[in-house]
Amino acid sequence: MSLINETHDPALKSWVEEANRPGSDFPIQNLPFGRYRPIGVDEDFRIGVAIGNQILDLQGADLIDTSDMNALMALDTAARQRLRREISRGLSKGSAQQQTWSKRLIAQDAVEMAVPCRIGDYTDFYTGIHHATSVGKLFRPDQPLMPNYKWVPIGYHGRSSSIRVSGQTFRRPRGQTKAPDAAQPTFGPSRRLDYELELGYFVGGGNALGQPVSIEDAEDHLFGVTLLNDWSARDIQAWEYQPLGPFLSKNFATTVSPWLVTTEALAPFRAALTRPDGDPQPLPYLDGGFNRKAGAFDITLEVLILTERMVESGLPPERLTLGNAGTAAYWTAAQLLTHHTVNGCNLQSGDLLGSGTLSGPAANEAGSLLELTEGGKKPVVLANGEQRTFLEDGDTLILRGWCERPGAVRIGLGEVRGTVLA
């Protein structure tokens, strides 16, 4: 099944000239959705599409009749594709819509962005096998991966109320921790605060309670992808996570990018799901021809850090890692959605599925400081001489993502920024 159509044509150009700039995150081949309002204006957030350095107001352009992003996301696949084609044609060079739509543009630096939609429920998975193996070696050298890892997508239910959009600041969390040689735990601020490089998969149309979604139909229930940073307090996590898993170590903050890059926009960057020789193949309910052939996403992922001292010195952010989601994830987004519903669980429009930390096989592809520093044993040394084992107060973490392949126009996922406060 071909997912490529006229909206992906590499020769397509927009009358919004910034969208034609090489390296732009938001060329006409992307068209991600987000919610915005002018800075300083107390009004409801509107639905827009990013094009170059501008945002097109979809209601103002008479393309939609709702300000409810979740309702738009719940449209069926055919309706979403029609809307994408209509937006693409109207923003193309030579379009008859240019004169009218140019009045419906607003600069991205003139707006306040919101979380892309109303997030009802949030489930975080553990699809990064290199991350799971590296972390497992720190805690269980004799058995890094649990016996179920290669058979079932592992996940836990997170907290949607603390999810915020890029630019989030949050207080360093407090909780119980226990040193290995201590007789009892102590209470105080986390000293092993970490980031997690993830993708967020947003549900479009939901399913009725008791009606599982098959692997063949799962793609129709996925609306789009964002960058996601699931901040983690590793010392609190180590003390609390057995026997029921993460709790206070995870629910204090999660940051997402403001733009929802649709699965339609990602069509040219699909990748095959591959398993190492000797690994078991998925059980039949998690296995399908399209999922094997094109279930993964070829997305480059980057993590940068900006410390307070770097800001004071006028230094730019410094890269910590660079990797790829396609080689990091053991399970696809469709498999996560199918597994989530196989017991009859009902997902709803706007529900968020986190990929889990996406680390590659090489040391410089790690998606967390826990891995980069081998549990705090080997500090990361920055160019200005600063060292980090875990995050310090004032540190800003930046996640970026983009897709590029020969024969396709590069598209970006924007970025996620978050800053730790004392």
CB 371 within 8 A of CB 288: no
198 annotated as ligand-binding:
yes
250 annotated as ligand-binding:
yes
Identify the CATH class of 6-113: mainly beta
- Say what the pLDDT of residue 1 is: 53
351 annotated as ligand-binding:
no
Q: Please, what are the averages of pLDDT over each run of 10 residues along the chain (422 residues)?
A: 89 98 97 98 97 98 97 96 98 98 98 97 95 88 89 95 97 96 96 98 97 98 98 95 91 97 98 93 96 97 98 98 95 98 98 97 95 96 98 98 97 98 96
Report pLDDT digits (tens) over 157-184.
Answer: 999 999 999 999 999 999 999 999 999 9
Structure tokens that stand for 46 in this block: 């509107």
CA–CA dist 262, 258 (Å, integer): 13
CB 254 within 8 A of CB 218: no
404 annotated as ligand-binding:
no
CB 114 within 8 A of CB 259: no
User: Residue 141 region, left (φ>0) first, then alpha (ψ -120 to 50), else beta?
Assistant: alpha
Which of these, 222, 231, 226, lies nearest to 199 by C-alpha position?
226
Question: CATH number of 122-421: 1.10.3720.10, 3.40.50.1110, 3.40.50.300, 3.90.850.10?
Answer: 3.90.850.10
CA–CA dist 177, 160 (Å, integer): 24
Q: What is the pTM of this model?
A: 0.96
| Count of C-beta atoms within a 10 Å radius of residue 293 | 13
- Say what the pLDDT of residue 2 is: 67
Domain ranges for the chain, please list them.
Answer: 6-113, 122-421
The three-class DSSP label of residue 406 is coil
263 annotated as ligand-binding:
no
> Parallel, antiparallel, or unpaired for β 186-189 and 352-354?
unpaired
Structure tokens that stand for 106 in this block: 């607003």
Structure tokens that stand for 201 in this block: 């998969």
**Radius of gyration over alpha carbons of the chain, in Å?**
21
419 annotated as ligand-binding:
no
Distances (CA, A) of 147 to 56, 143, 289: 49, 9, 26
- Say what the pLDDT of residue 53 is: 98
Q: What angle do CA 10, 197, 223 make, to 5 degrees?
A: 50
CA–CA dist 138, 390 (Å, integer): 16
Structure tokens that stand for 33 in this block: 């959705």
DSSP string covering 137-196, please? Answer: HHH-TT-SS-TTTTTS--EEE--GGGEEETTEEEEPPEEEE--TT-SS-EEEE-SSEE--
241 annotated as ligand-binding:
yes
Please count the residues of the chain. 422
The three-class DSSP label of residue 89 is helix
Catalytic residues: 131
